Amino acid sequence: MKYIELGLVNTREMFADAIARKYAVPAFNFYNMETLMAILNASRMMRSPVILAVSESALKYMGADMLTGMIMGANLSSDDGVVLHLDHGSSVESCARAIELGFSSVMIDASKLPFDQNVEITKRVVEIAHKHNVTVEAELGVLAGIEDENTFSENSSYTNPSDVERFVRAAGNDSLAIAIGTSHGAYKRRRDDEELRFDILADVATRLPGFPLVLHGASNIPQNLVTQINEFGGKLSGARGIDVTQLRRATQMNICKINVDSDLRLGFVAATRRALATHPQNFNPREFLSSAITTMTQICTDEIRDIMGSDKKL
Ligand code: G3H
Ligand code: 13P
Ligand code: ZN
């Protein structure tokens, strides 16, 4: 399937506009109808471009036919400014398959490999993707690992700014994810005053003027959601995200895509826990799932306005 037939766009013009007008396009992860509805409701309401991010495990969970069926069901047109993006593609084959399915953008994440191998694999994805006018995100530097438990991972390494020009020139990718201190999951910082490495971001932006940069692991981890989850039986003590002010600052410095998954996970779980605990007689899933959609729509709306600055850009 061609992504144009699904009413999708690639990231090229979207990122050029985001850099020119100093905002970031939100990349929200989805994995079922409820998350998809919340993201699309919010982006439509806010007139924001949006990137629908699908990880390989989310693709496996939904199944390819169900995923493309849901995108068809959304009845999108190119004026809606919606990208379907493979998040953290792990191989050339995985990216090629996503392109065949109708994705308009793919990430090849070879950031854990040595520099030359990262270039080589990214280049191969770019060759395939560009034949279909699909855009490609690559990554240099390694974020801390996905955290599902109450632990902090130390396994990260910041992007080395002196590598970025050589990488992009050799690999030909359309955007670059960099590591400046964010990490995946709900446990990102030990202390409230921990700062992202804006010196690295500034250096990279100077070396790659006008080039789209991407921030992964950028959930804000709203504390009201953490409190609500804990109040209704969850155990998420010490969950802490990236400060809103720092995220806003990044959008002024060529970060034109900000990835958020954990915040919507928290919203889904917080709303569900509250609805089930406060209505113990309920056994109609549509009731608690509606609360989850409402909460996630609100999170997307707030972040589009307060973090991304991407509202009223369509
Ligand atoms: O960056 C990782 C995303 O949060 C996706 O996580 O593989 O559990 O869907 P997942
Ligand atoms: P969070 O875990 O901070 O939401 O990051 C999501 C992400 O980077 C998806 O690629
Ligand atoms: Zn990520």
Of the listed 17, 65, 79, 87, which one is catalytic? 87
pLDDT digits over 114-162, tens only? 999 999 999 999 999 999 999 999 999 998 655 444 445 566 799 999 9
Q: Name the token pair of 279.
A: 């209505």
CA dihedral (192, 241, 168, 88) positive or negative:
positive
**What confidence tens digit (pLDDT) does each residue in 1-43 have?**
999 999 999 999 999 999 999 999 999 999 999 999 999 999 9
Predicted local distance difference test score (pLDDT) of residue 55: 98
Q: How far is the CA of 184 from the centre of ligand 2 (A)?
A: 5
Q: Which two tokens stand for residue 222?
A: 């709203």
- 85: Cβ below 6 Å to ligand 1? no
Compute CA 182 distance to the chain's CA centroid, rounded to the nearest angstrom. 13
Query: How many CB atoms are closer than 10 A to CB 16?
Result: 13
Q: What separation, in Å, do the N-terminal and C-terminal C-alpha atoms of the chain show?
A: 26
Mean pLDDT of 151-180: 89
What is the pLDDT, as a whole number, of residue 76?
98
Ligand 1 atom, smallest distance to 88 CA? 1
- State pLDDT tens for residues 202-243: 999 999 999 999 999 999 999 999 999 999 999 998 899 999
pLDDT band at residue 191 using 50, 70 and 90 as cut-offs: confident
Contact 15, 25 (CB under 8 A): yes
The 10 Å Cβ neighbour count of residue 287 is 12
The confidence score (pLDDT) of residue 153 equals 55
Q: Tell me: the pLDDT tens digits for 52-84?
A: 999 999 999 999 999 999 999 999 999 999 999
Residues 204, 33: Cα–Cα separation, whole Å: 37
Please state the pTM of the whole predicted model: 0.97
Q: 248-268 b/e with 16+ CB inside 10 Å = b?
A: bebbebbbbbbbbbbbbbbbb
Bigger pLDDT: 157 vs 286: 286
Q: Is the CB of 186 under 6 A from ligand 2?
A: no
Task: Report the distance separating Cα 177 and Cα 212, nearest Å.
Answer: 9
Q: What is the mean pLDDT of the chain?
A: 95
Hey, what are 9's tokens? 């766009």
Q: Is 310 in the pocket of ligand 1 (CB under 6 A)?
A: no
Please tell me the distance from the alpha carbon of residue 18 to that of residue 267, in angstroms, as a whole number. 27
pLDDT tens track for 264-285: 999 999 999 999 999 999 999 9
Q: How many CB atoms lie within 10 A of CB 125?
A: 29
Cβ contacts of 141 within 8 Å, gap of 6 or more: 111, 156, 157, 158, 159, 160, 177, 178, 179, 180
Distance CA 104, CA 130 (A): 10
* Helix residue ranges, H only, the chain: 12-20, 33-46, 56-62, 64-73, 92-101, 115-131, 164-171, 198-207, 223-231, 244-251, 262-278, 285-303
Closest residue by Cα to residue 263 from 67, 1, 15, 27 = 27
C-alpha 40: how far from chain center: 14
pLDDT, position 193: 81
Mean pLDDT to the nearest integer, 286-312: 98
